[in-house]
Amino acid sequence: MMPELIIHNSISLDGSLTGFMPDMALHYKIAGDYKSDAHLIGSNTIIAGNEMFGDGIPAEEPSDFNQPERNPALPWWVIVDSGGRLKGMLHTCRRFEFCRDVIVLLSESTPAEYFGHLRDRNYNFIIAGKEKVDLNMATDRLKENFGISRILTDTGRILGNILINAGMVDEISLLVHPLIVGEKCYPMFSDINKNTEFKLVKSEKFDNGCVWNVYRL
């Protein structure tokens, strides 16, 4: 049986993922309440996060070459990076105190030097797919090799739409903010290629005007 997969995002009334400042405390409280075994993240999100919140990529230190010893109840960060775009950046994820450690999803086309880079730094990785990562195969191996049974992703449109199109999503959690982005809207579901029906199973209103809606396949 495949791991349960949940998409959790903060959006505007017109479904935009960007163009406004979400309530991050509430967003991450809801995400944490899912108690997922892993967070699935695209390489674009890591790059954007480093650009938005960082002052450049810090140099690696000797401790960055070792797997951290943290509470095993913390979620893994599972990062899709078949192109090796995060070479020299992954230690910024490994240093995050609420991350158990990083597992990188690769394909057979991943540059050979990236494999060496990961091995030298003791990163776990999974090879699944030829040109791009086969996410069905990868999540199956995550359960088999790491005991991961619940995966949450909140990284945005590209990865989320791929997962929905592949029929892999069990639940969608949307924290809807009371504003309209308008012409700069970055719509969450614009790359979905077919009708997919979900059932509303939870709706909760918060004092800040946000509404949390949960849908099951």
**CB-based contacts of 177, cutoff 8 Å, min separation 6:** 10, 11, 12, 13, 20, 22, 23, 209, 210
Identify whether residues 78 and 63 lie together within a single domain: yes
State residue 48's pLDDT score. Answer: 80
Q: Is 61 helix (H, G, I), strand (E, B) or coil?
A: coil
Amino acid at 22: P
The number of domains in the chain is 2
Identify whether residues 122 and 171 lie together within a single domain: no
Identify whether residues 60 and 144 lie together within a single domain: yes
Residue ranges in the chain modelled with pLDDT below 70: 51-54
Identify whether residues 43 and 8 lie together within a single domain: no
Place of tokens 């209103």: 205
Identify whether residues 141 and 161 lie together within a single domain: no
Last residue of one domain, picked from the residues 103, 120, 148:
148
Identify whether residues 165 and 107 lie together within a single domain: no
Please tell me the distance from the alpha carbon of residue 72 to that of residue 17, in angstroms, as a whole number: 31
What CATH number does the domain containing 161 carry?
A: 3.40.430.10
Dmax (CA) for the chain in angstroms is 51
Last residue of one domain, picked from the residues 100, 117, 148:
148
Identify whether residues 122 and 203 lie together within a single domain: no
DSSP classification of residue 58 = P
Identify whether residues 136 and 157 lie together within a single domain: no
- Write out the residue range of the structural domain in which residue 209 sits: 1-37+149-217
Identify whether residues 210 and 154 lie together within a single domain: yes
Identify whether residues 102 and 49 lie together within a single domain: yes
Last residue of one domain, picked from the residues 98, 132, 148:
148
Identify whether residues 10 and 108 lie together within a single domain: no
Identify whether residues 122 and 46 lie together within a single domain: yes
What phi and psi, each to the nearest 5 degrees, are found at residue 205?
A: -100, 140
